[in-house]
Amino acid sequence: MDRRRFLKATAGYIALPALPVCLARQPRPRQVGRLPNIVFVMADDMGIGDVGCYNPDSKIPTPNMDKLAGQGIRFTDAHSPSAVCTPTRYGVLTGRYCWRTWLKKNVVGGYTNPLIEPGRTTVGSFLQRQGYRTACIGKWHLGLGWTRRNGYVGNAADGPKYFNGSWQDGDSEKGMDVDFTKPVQGGPADLGFDYAWFTAACSTIDGPFCYIENRRTVGIPDRMIPIEGKRDYRPRRGWTVEGFDLREVDTVFANKAVEFIEKNHKDSPDKPFFVYLALSSPHAPWLPPDFMKGKSKEGPRGDLVAWADWALGRVLDTLDRTGLANDTLVIMTSDNGPRHGANGPGQRGEKQRRGHAVDKILGHRFDCSPTDAGCVQRVGVATDDSPHECPGCVQVVACQRDLHAPAVADHVANGQATGDDQDRNHVAGQRMNLGCAVDHRPANACTDRNGCNGQHRSGRARIAHQPAQRTLQPSDQPAHRPHRVRQPLRIAE
């Protein structure tokens, strides 16, 4: 079974419980032929070692992630496109190599011009064309077209020109300060999302500290946010709106996701939906809400991981309550490794494997019977470290950009292309076998914050030392190269 066929199985029609039994309570049968709802939840700076189903010694309770893993599949060799926020999010939403924009390293600020140019296909716009209602909720961090008081509107073409200093508002003497009464452009509402509730950059550390609903700020940022406490426990200087509470952002995001799911179920029960839920936790500053304080034995940062798990639980409970669980694909992951890596592999920003190795749990909760075509009852993989079968674990080398192609394209639109031909999995007819430990697609190269590439090879990261400024073309990819092959996937009967 090659990689695309495997993703077709896991992302299209199946359930992957750890044991060959259905849930104790009788769920509503799956609607055969119905396009699946998709919920993609991305934590911020959460490491593999934070989550209980990956690390039994974790000091952080993650019951909802563990439950999702038990109902679905858990990737043990999953990678983000980059070891920092912005490029990972670009790769996830566009399916492209994460440094193909004018940004060649690092991340954007809250006032940076858009990275995604108008007309670029995103997961949201692609799914809209397939009849989905789409929502982007949470941390955006891909630049916006703010309107300045002198009339200038930020755009992708001018990105490099105005990048420096874009973590703060522009120069008021030159009229480059933002007019918050004007709509924003180049955000999720212009890139394929029917509904958007988000913050411009890192929700709790970067200004402007306000929510944006579709194209308008919720309130007018007209005061500076108080800065108290030591590093990792305070935001950066910036404009805020009255009442914006750093300790409430993920609660608000989770509630907005629930509202969207419930509204779509009520107003358009036959219309599938896609929710891109980008949480702020456990990114610094580590300021958990009162109801999460002390939930972990890992301090305030651990409490934020528990908060992310709580948010996932809110979504799962809503799917159960509305009877949508059996028609919904839920994916839980992180944009990169953890800030300090205290609980396992990874520090964000590293170009070695640890900075981009992420937890990735694909929980497909469709009801199925042993005779249901395309339904896999149990999955086990023999890994290099453990030659024994691991129920529910998959050692396929996976990258988050597969949300876009092929995991959406091949299974929602019968193979219709979703991205440009530079970076799609279909380039030059190349395919990656399931047991293969090397992927030569440039879009699957994992990078550090400075744009240096590292491609996963035989359980380690091979650093290519290839400048991100170079534009990779399909002809750059070798037509054939021998490489090590792990033991193949075994699917139990």
Q: DSSP string spanning 31-69? A: -TTPPPEEEEEEESS--GGGSTTT-TT-SS--HHHHHHH
377-394 mean pLDDT: 39
User: Is the model's pLDDT at 338 over the cut of 70?
Assistant: yes
Q: Is 14's pLDDT higher than 50?
A: no
pLDDT at 460 over 90: no
pLDDT of amino acid 173: 93
In the structure, what pLDDT confidence band is assigned to residue 34 with cuts at 50, 70 and 90? confident
The pLDDT score that the predictor gives to residue 228 is 84
Each residue's pLDDT tens digit, 88-121: 999 999 989 888 899 998 999 999 999 999 999 9
Q: What is the average pLDDT across 292-301?
A: 95
The two beta strands, 398-399 and 73-79, are parallel
Tens of pLDDT, residue by residue over 349-366, are 444 444 455 555 665 433
| Res 81: pLDDT | 83
pLDDT at 197: 98
Nearest Cα neighbor of 14 from 373, 459, 392 is 373
Highest mean pLDDT (candidates 42-51, 75-84, 211-220, 323-332): 211-220
What string of H, E and C letters represents the secondary structure of 380-436?
ECCCCCCCCCCCCEECCCEEHHHHCCCCCHHHHCCCCCCCCCCCCCCHHHCCCECCE
3-state helix vs strand vs coil in the chain, percent to 5:
25, 20, 60
Beta bridge partners of 195: 135
Average pLDDT over residues 245-260: 98
Name the residue with higher pLDDT: 99 or 318: 318
Structural domains in the chain (count): 1
Burial (Cβ within 10 Å: 0-12, 13-18, ≥19) of residue 475: exposed
Q: Is residue 443's pLDDT more than 50?
A: no
The predicted structure's pLDDT at residue 249:
98
Segment 375-389 shows an average pLDDT of 33
CATH number of residue 310's parent domain: 3.40.720.10
- Report the pLDDT value the prediction gives residue 155, as an integer from 0 to 100: 96
Write out the residue range of the structural domain in which residue 30 sits: 3-491
Asked if residues 375 and 15 have their Cβ atoms less than 8 Å apart, the reply is yes
Tokens read off for 413: 């639109």
Q: With contact defined as beta carbons under 8 Å apart, do 196 and 189 qualify?
A: yes
Look at residue 431 in the predicted model and tell me its pLDDT: 28
- Calculate the average pLDDT of the chain: 74
pLDDT of amino acid 168: 94
Highest mean pLDDT among 16-30, 193-207, 327-341, 442-456: 193-207
pLDDT for the residue 484: 31
Lowest average pLDDT, out of 26-35, 248-257, 338-347, goes to: 338-347
Are 489 and 1 within 8 A, CB to CB? yes
With a CB cutoff of 8 Å and minimum separation 6, the contacts of 125 are 191, 192
Give the model confidence (pLDDT) of 259-290 as tens digits.
999 999 999 999 999 999 999 999 999 999 99
CA gap 378, 373 in Å, rounded: 14
Percent residues over pLDDT 70 in the chain? 62
CA atoms of 448 and 81, how far apart (whole Å) = 9
- Phi (first) and psi of residue 260, to 5 degrees: -65, -45
